[in-house]
Amino acid sequence: MRNECCSNVCEPRSFFTKDEKIEMLKEYKEALEKEAKGVAEEIKELEEAK
């Protein structure tokens, strides 16, 4: 989710709606799941290379 710019000075927002927080957390969870999958694949490859 990108921060919208309301003026000439773009600063990160400090307050988000509940819906925005939910969406950000879902995106974060998805990124963590992808990272965990990548870690599992790396472990598997390293174990097979022994």
On whether the CB atoms of residues 19 and 29 are closer than 8 A, the answer is: no
Secondary structure letter of residue 30 according to DSSP? H
Residue type, 47: E
Domain definitions of the chain by residue range: 15-50
What value does the mean pLDDT take over residues 27-47?
99
Residue 3 scores a pLDDT above 80? no
pLDDT in tens, 8-35: 667 888 999 999 999 999 999 999 999 9
Q: Which two tokens stand for residue 23?
A: 């969406």
